[in-house]
Structure 1
Amino acid sequence: MPRASVDCHPPPPHSTRRAGVSVQILRPQADLGAGQAMSWSRLQTLWYHIDALTWLVIGINLLLILFARPLVRLASGHDASEGLVRLRVHVLQTLNLAIILGFVYWHLFSSDQGPWGQMLLGILLLIYLGYLVAHLLGIWILRRYGKRKQIRGEWRWVETYQSRLLTLVSRLFVFVVTLITLVRMLGFESLLEAGGVLGFIGVLMALTQATWAPDLFSGLIMLNSNVLEEGDVIRLDGQPELFGIVFKTKMFHTEILDIVANHRILLRNAALRDRIIRNLSKFASARGLRDRLSFKIGYDTSPQSVRETLEAAWNRVVEDPPEGVEVQYPVEIGLLATGDHALEWGVFYYTKTPERLPAIRQQLNQIFLETAGDHGISLATPLTHQVLLSSSRTASNTQE
């Protein structure tokens, strides 16, 4: 019969009839199959809708993620620590991964996100590309117009006036182009709206120019005048007197390595330019830097004995010279001052390694001290007031 033939077949999985347990068991399997089919259809949609530009962006970012560490090492300065390099690598990899995920999400859910998702992705990509282009331009300009110099046994590129000025101009150009593009992406199409945003940034820079402008132009002036470069040994007059090596010249400040205390000092370029700078690396002659050792010897020692002692000490220096002392040039020994308590004698010598000046002075002072002891001459400054006191006491005891 017709009814019997219909009851012999099980109801379909999506039927609304009450067919017992069989319908309830088959429904989850059908939903799972539908979910897998939907995911597969979305993957197919993603595969067919991604254009060549998107594949290019994804491929470049994947390569940047894989080679992030060597690229950061190449772009970082010589003084970048391992922690700073690791941080830059993580930031670079995070930005590249965010761009990849943003492109994938854009193509998967482009119908649901609206224009703001695409705009945010574009802003992120624009800022990233602007920073990357500015940084790479700075590296290229430094390699092209900078100077290669050996500093403390290490060869590195140092800034010059041309490289600093071109880097500043290029970064300003990239910043303006990035800013104008960002303003247009945010929807400020009219000239009045875009000019308002640019004018606000200009007013902000004008209000803060007293903070950054003096240091920026002071750094350019010092680089242009060639008064100091990275690696130069300088001495700054002040309290206390600073003796160090110019470690790094930056846009707004200069890093100086204190040779005596072995630590870094940060000085604003404007403050550095206002002080008296003695550049010990800029020699006035081919002999090198002319340094002086001073000794105060009492009046009871004859000048001939003092000169013979100092010459004997210098002969010991010539036999076993400390590193950095130019012993091929004759030493100059002379009387500097006739003081109230002692005579001040000076020994002038030459060196071409001013960064070793503290160590050279220590070694030479020890040699001169030992030689003076061998000749029976004291290098201690006499205290004449003690002699007067002892004489007055003797006179008073005699009267009593």
Structure 2
Amino acid sequence: MEFLAWLAPSLSQAEWWAHGTIFVVNILLLLLAKPFLNFITVGHASSKNTLRLFRSLNVVILVLHALDLALLRISDNYQHSFIKVGLSFAAIYTALLGYSLLCYLSRRRFGIEKTIDEKTIYLDTYSSRLIDIILLFVVVLATIYALIKIWGADSMLETTGIFGILAAFLAFTSSSWAPDIIGGLIILNTQMLEDGDVVIVEGFPDEYVISKVTLFYVVLYDVRNNHRTLIRNNRFVSSKIDNLSRVASNDGIRQRLVYKIGYPDFTKLEGEGKTKAIAGFNTRVDRMFNSAFEKCVQNKNVKINEVKPFEWAMTNAGDYALHYSLWVYLARIPNTKVTATIRKHLMGTLHQVNEAVYQASLSENISLATPVLNQVSIDPPEQQS
């Protein structure tokens, strides 16, 4: 106890209350960082890096606070450098925490409500994003002003110089960040692209799920390859985007499959006999596709529109086979960000349709193999005597 009494600096009761309050608040924020972040990011992925950042700032402020108290006891000429650094970190911490909370309130007030993976979340809109940008500008200015006050650089010349440097920096770098901010606002203003939508972006061969439209880029999940992709907002909005989650009618997404059927041999038939043979061949093809549709309807793992039969037509008469196009109408894509679910819905359905058509072709004795018209024979080399 005597050692602790000697170690503690001689401070007034008001100063001890101030230090104690800072210490208690810092400990509470350190312990409650995770539940608080989970609250303000409800429905969104709470980044572990963000949690580490907040807790690291708490620890740094605690260490600097303790060092400041220790140096107050050791040196009478101590200028509170550590506590100034700690207060600077505290100002940054408060800015990050306050901005996160304000963005959450902005989404609740001006965002839209959507259910994804059976969870109700609030998504950003043009209005909420515009308010977030204004809040970001205000929070940054307030934080810089607080830092100026903490370090005592609050003369008119110093203050205007700092803000002048900041303005010049933003002006010179605006070509790097301004187009992406505007692109993000355009994406949100269209109201055609939302979190959880499945899209195809021009120049990219795969399907993607929109995870989040951030301030500068769009976070996407690659459905086929199960990884994350980042595209800058300006590039994303400048591309042609097909939104598979927004269909043009209740029929669903229309997908095309092509099958090659060898030419039937009608050379020995003439007149009415040839006409009947052609009609019979078309009937067999029709039965094949109708049978495939019935099998797909019975299989609940095949996500097709059960009230919309397959459509087919002969779309090309190639050199070796007739090309038949089959149009399949898929059921609506569920509101989910789970790539495995979407992969089964899109790719898995088409794979099972292919299997059903193949099985039906065997029943109708129709070959889907391209016939080999040329036979190549290789004579064995002559043996040298």
Question: By the TM > 0.5 criterion, same fold?
Answer: yes
Does the Cα contact within 8 Å between 1:290 and 1:351 map onto a contact in 2?
A: no
Match of 2:285 in 1: 306
**2:356 maps to which of 367, 376, 398:** 367
Corresponding residue for residue 307 of structure 2: 328
User: In the alignment, which residue of structure 2 is the partner of 1:221?
Assistant: 186
What CA RMSD, in Å, does the superposition of the two structures yield over aligned residues? 3.0
Contact 2:200–2:206 (CA<8 Å) still a contact in 1?
Answer: yes
Q: 2:197·2:245 contact (CA, 8 Å) conserved in 1?
A: yes
SS of residue matched to 1:261: coil
Deviation, structure 1 residue 277: 0.6
Report if aligned partners of 1:76, 1:85 keep a CA contact under 8 Å in 2.
Answer: no
User: In the alignment, is the contact (CA less than 8 A) between 2:221 and 2:227 conserved in 1?
Assistant: yes
- Structure 1 residue 109 displacement after superposition: 6.5
1-side partners of 2:54 and 2:312: how far apart?
A: 59
| 2:226 corresponds to 1:259 | no
Deviation of residue 111 (structure 1)? 4.2
- Once the two structures are superposed, the pairs formed by residues 60-75 of structure 1 within 5 Å of their partners are 60-75=25-40
Q: Which one of the candidate residues 173, 178, 181 is aligned to 2:143?
A: 178
Matches within 5 A, 1:372-383: 372-382=361-371
Of 296, 302, 317, the match for 1:317: 296
Q: What is the aligned counterpart of 1:249 among 213, 232, 237?
A: 213
**3-state SS of paired residue (1:112):** coil
Structure 2 counterpart SS, 1:67: helix
CA–CA distance in structure 1, aligned partners of residues 375 and 60 of structure 2: 82
Higher RCO (C-alpha 8 Å, min separation 6) = 2
Write out aligned runs for 1:95-244 (5 A). 95-98=60-63, 100-101=65-66, 104-105=69-70, 108=73, 111-114=76-79, 116-117=81-82, 119-238=84-203, 241-244=205-208
Partner Cα distance (2:135, 2:291) in 1: 61
Unaligned 5+ segments in structure 2 are 265-277, 335-341, 377-385
Cα deviation, residue 170, structure 1 = 0.6
Q: For structure 1, which segment, 113-122 or 127-136, has the greater mean C-alpha deviation from structure 2 after superposition? A: 113-122
Distance 1:367 1:279 in 2: 28
User: Secondary structure in 2 aligned to 1:328?
Assistant: coil
Judge conservation of contact 1:290–1:350 (CA < 8 Å) in 2. yes
The whole-number CA distance in structure 1 between the counterparts of 2:4 and 2:202 is 74
Paired letter, 1:181? A
Letter aligned with residue 347 of structure 1: W
Normalised to the residue count of structure 1, the TM-score between the two structures is 0.77
Helix, strand or coil at the partner of 1:231: coil
Do the aligned partners of 2:217 and 2:231 also contact (CA within 8 Å) in 1? yes
Instruction: Quote the offset at 1:173 in angstroms.
Output: 0.6
Matches within 5 A, 1:87-98: 87-88=52-53, 90-98=55-63
Task: Find out whether 1:277 has 2:266 as its counterpart.
Answer: no
The one-letter code matched in structure 2 to 1:84 is: N
CA apart distance, 1:371: 1.1
Name the counterpart of 1:5: none
CA distance in 2, matches of 1:181, 1:125: 10
- Asked which structure has the greater CA Rg, the reply is 1
Asked whether the equivalents of residues 46 and 108 of structure 1 are also in contact (C-alpha less than 8 Å), the reply is no
Distance 2:67 2:122 in 1: 38
Gapped runs of 5+ residues in structure 1?
A: 1-34, 392-400
* Deviation larger for 288-297 or 98-107: 98-107
1:346 and 2:326 equivalent?
A: yes
Query: What TM-score do the two structures reach when normalised by structure 2?
Result: 0.79
What amino acid does structure 1 have at the position aligned with 2:114?
A: K
Count how many residue pairs are aligned between Structure 1 and Structure 2: 350
The secondary structure found in structure 1 opposite 2:77 is: helix
Match of 2:23 in 1: 58
